[in-house]
Amino acid sequence: MNVLAPGSNQVGNAVLLPFSNLQTLREQRPLMFVGGKGIYTFDEAGRDYIEAVSTFYCVNLGFSDEELIEAAIQQLRALPMYPSGIHRTVPVVMELAERLAEASPVRGGHVMFATTGSEANDQLVKFTWYANRVAGEPQRRKIISRRASYHGGTIATTALGGSAALQEAFGIRTDDSLFVTHPTWPIGALPDETEDAYCDRLVEELRQTIEAAGPETIAAMIAEPVSVSSGMFPPPKDYFPKIKAVLDEYGIRLYADEVVTGFGRTGKMWGSQTFGVEPDCISCAKGLSGAYQPISAVVMSDEFYSFLEQGSNTAGIFNHGGTYGGHPVSAAVALKVLDIFEKRNILGHVQSVMPVWQKALASLEDHPFVTATRCVGLAGAVQLARPGEGKAGASPSLTPGGLAQQVYEAGLAAGVVVRPLQGSIVLAPPLIITEAEIGELARRLRLALDTVLAAG
Ligand SMILES: Cc1ncc(COP(=O)(O)O)c(C=O)c1O
């Protein structure tokens, strides 16, 4: 079977496509992409799509950056692979660690590389347990996260986020997890509750959760500065400073999952800087290499790292790693991303188009399906509901379905790829998007909304 033949209608169901219906996979050929340029991708029929969520919030510098491609080729020619471990590494990995540590919002950063965001968060959990054992507090294992957040697909990270339904479906144990409410101001507020009162209620919920579980059993809290999977609700202004104050009281560390928010998405280099998060450790991935190569990292504070060092001195080595953690080609590309941020002033560009982006999203508010729009840096969400459904719509969940899913499908036909989540359409276009392209994105999105409206 030649599934690659142009115009082929072959289904080719040998592959298990993630986050897809596996029965549909037997009957319907998936959408196949064969090329990309700037913010656009092209399918096998030659149709173009604006990637309004940078695929999986990752292709932040677009699909045809010659400098990134060249950086990969040069490293492939010089030394295509050498694992980092057993007191051996390559210069690009060392240099990337230095520059990432320097750029990160973590004090005295130490960097451990991996390949995916899930793996970075997973090893953060593993390192936490290690550090606490070394510190003589092995009972401090529990990690607090927010319901409806997403921190990855490994066993440990599935236990940290997502929905209870997801954990149940895969039989994931959550003994070491604690969950608190994710801020969704104003949808989550009680009638007449002010933003301050709403924030204080969530902070109080955190305190009570800690007290109920026993503070001495809790190691850390992990949070995205602003969460895509929860529908891109910017936290109330005082949320993170107040959360941090409570955590500090109980000796609980704060980890920022910057897998999506890192590298300019929120208008600053890190989401932590935009939302006043003071993390002990961060995880990052995706934008780190503009997603041209798989690479992720955990950046740890000096204080945290000192326990890993101490443990390694006692045991002889720090006994964790992987073949592709800090792959030289990925590291070379990531280094080039950091260069490009400086050379092309990517943050300056993001800040300059943010007002246009905000206006473009707000312009959709007159549509009968749009109940609100939210804007964070070069990301945002369009909250959807059919008239009479209430502000959050009928399907505020991680599971596809309802109006948001219909708009997603109409978006594909209109040539714009969006992400339906929590009753909203989430957006995070490549950071290189121009003002004119933002206009075109909004035009295609309105076309999708109108198509669904016309279908009744
Ligand atoms: C906030 C967040 N953390 C972690 C991950 C996991 O990253 P990966 O898919 O690279 O494993 C994701 C993926 O979308 C994410 O959105």
Question: Which tens digit of pLDDT belongs to each residue from 22-53?
Answer: 999 889 999 999 999 999 999 999 999 999 99
Instruction: Decide: 428 in ligand 1 pocket, CB within 6 A.
Output: no
Atom from ligand 1 closest to the CA of residue 154 = 11
Cα angle value 41/47/51 (rounded, 5°): 30
Asked if 265 and 351 count as a contact pair (C-beta separation under 8 A), the reply is: no
| Distance from the alpha carbon of residue 121 to the mean position of ligand 1, in angstroms | 9
Instruction: Decide: 54 in ligand 1 pocket, CB within 6 A.
Output: no
Q: What is the pLDDT of residues 75-132, one digit of tens each?
A: 999 999 999 999 999 999 999 999 999 999 998 899 999 999 999 999 999 999 999 9
Q: What is the pLDDT of residues 1-17, one digit of tens each?
A: 455 565 566 777 789 99
Q: What is the pLDDT of residues 261-305, one digit of tens each?
A: 999 999 999 999 999 999 999 999 999 999 999 999 999 999 999
Instruction: Decide: 150 in ligand 1 pocket, CB within 6 A.
Output: yes
pLDDT for position 456: 84
Atom from ligand 1 closest to the CA of residue 229 = 16
Instruction: Decide: 404 in ligand 1 pocket, CB within 6 A.
Output: no
Helical spans, DSSP H, in 170-323: 195-213, 239-249, 271-274, 302-315
Instruction: Decide: 419 in ligand 1 pocket, CB within 6 A.
Output: no
* Cα distance between residue 146 and residue 251, in whole Å: 19
Entry field: residues in the chain? 456
The architecture CATH gives domain 69-343 = 3-Layer(aba) Sandwich (3.40)
To which residue do tokens 């030659």 refer? Answer: 46
Instruction: Decide: 228 in ligand 1 pocket, CB within 6 A.
Output: yes
Instruction: Decide: 151 in ligand 1 pocket, CB within 6 A.
Output: yes
The mean predicted confidence, pLDDT, of the chain is 94
* Cα distance between residue 40 and residue 417, in whole Å: 10
Q: What is the pLDDT of residues 303-361, one digit of tens each?
A: 999 999 999 999 999 999 999 999 999 999 999 999 999 999 999 999 999 999 999 99
In the chain, residues under CATH classification 3.40.640.10 are 69-343
**Closest by alpha carbon to 93, among 260, 85, 269?**
85
Q: Which two tokens stand for residue 316?
A: 């002889």
Q: Whose CA is nearest to atom 14 of ligand 1?
A: 56
Whether residue 225 is predicted with pLDDT greater than 70 in this model: the reply is yes
pLDDT for position 445: 98
Residue to probe by mutation, ligand 1, list 113, 118, 258, most atoms within 8 Å of CB = 118
Band of residue 176 on the pLDDT scale cut at 50, 70, 90 = very high
Q: Whose CA is nearest to atom 8 of ligand 1?
A: 117
Asked if 268 and 341 count as a contact pair (C-beta separation under 8 A), the reply is: no
| Distance from the alpha carbon of residue 352 to the mean position of ligand 1, in angstroms | 27
pLDDT for position 395: 47
Per-position DSSP letters for 107-138, written without gaps between them: TT-EEEEESSHHHHHHHHHHHHHHHHHHTT-T
- Helices 239-249 and 195-213, interaxial angle, to 10°? 20
Q: pTM value?
A: 0.96
| Distance from the alpha carbon of residue 296 to the mean position of ligand 1, in angstroms | 10
Residue to probe by mutation, ligand 1, list 260, 261, 281, 288, most atoms within 8 Å of CB = 260
In the chain, residues under CATH classification 3.90.1150.10 are 31-64+345-455
Q: Which two tokens stand for residue 262?
A: 């890192």
Instruction: Decide: 116 in ligand 1 pocket, CB within 6 A.
Output: yes
Asked if 275 and 284 count as a contact pair (C-beta separation under 8 A), the reply is: no
| Distance from the alpha carbon of residue 390 to the mean position of ligand 1, in angstroms | 30
Question: Which residues have a Cβ under 8 Å from the Cβ of 454 and sit 6 or more positions away?
Answer: none
- Give the rounded percent of residues in the chain with a pLDDT score beyond 70: 95
Average pLDDT in the 230-252 region? 96
* Cα distance between residue 264 and residue 295, in whole Å: 17
**Closest by alpha carbon to 381, among 396, 256, 191?**
396
* Cα distance between residue 48 and residue 44, in whole Å: 10
**Closest by alpha carbon to 261, among 64, 122, 98, 105?**
105
Instruction: Decide: 260 in ligand 1 pocket, CB within 6 A.
Output: yes
- Helices 346-362 and 435-455, interaxial angle, to 10°? 30
For residue 249, CA distances in Å to 115, 207, 276 come to: 34, 10, 18
Average pLDDT in the 362-391 region? 92
Alpha carbon of residue 396 to chain centroid: 19
Average pLDDT in the 57-72 region? 98
| Distance from the alpha carbon of residue 114 to the mean position of ligand 1, in angstroms | 13
Instruction: Decide: 56 in ligand 1 pocket, CB within 6 A.
Output: yes
* Cα distance between residue 269 and residue 26, in whole Å: 42
Whether residue 398 is predicted with pLDDT greater than 50 in this model: the reply is no
Q: E strand or H helix at 380, and its extent?
A: strand 379-384
β-bridge pairing 416-417 and 370-376: unpaired
Round the CA-based radius of gyration of the chain to a whole number and report it. Answer: 22
Instruction: Decide: 106 in ligand 1 pocket, CB within 6 A.
Output: no
pLDDT for position 165: 87
Instruction: Decide: 117 in ligand 1 pocket, CB within 6 A.
Output: yes
At residue 238, the 3 state secondary structure works out as coil
* Cα distance between residue 288 and residue 19, in whole Å: 23
pLDDT for position 6: 56
| Distance from the alpha carbon of residue 140 to the mean position of ligand 1, in angstroms | 25
| Distance from the alpha carbon of residue 54 to the mean position of ligand 1, in angstroms | 13
The strand pairing partners of 373, in sequence order, are 382
pLDDT for position 347: 98
| Distance from the alpha carbon of residue 387 to the mean position of ligand 1, in angstroms | 33
**Closest by alpha carbon to 232, among 399, 377, 390?**
377
Residue to probe by mutation, ligand 1, list 58, 151, 266, 421, most atoms within 8 Å of CB = 151
* Cα distance between residue 143 and residue 157, in whole Å: 10
At residue 43, the 3 state secondary structure works out as strand
| Residue 44, number of CB atoms within 10 A of its CB | 16
* Cα distance between residue 373 and residue 282, in whole Å: 28
For residue 195, CA distances in Å to 155, 338, 347 come to: 35, 37, 29
CATH 3.90.1150.10 fits 31-64+345-455, yes or no: yes
Q: Whose CA is nearest to atom 3 of ligand 1?
A: 151
* Cα-Cα-Cα-Cα dihedral sign, residues 340, 343, 345, 349: negative
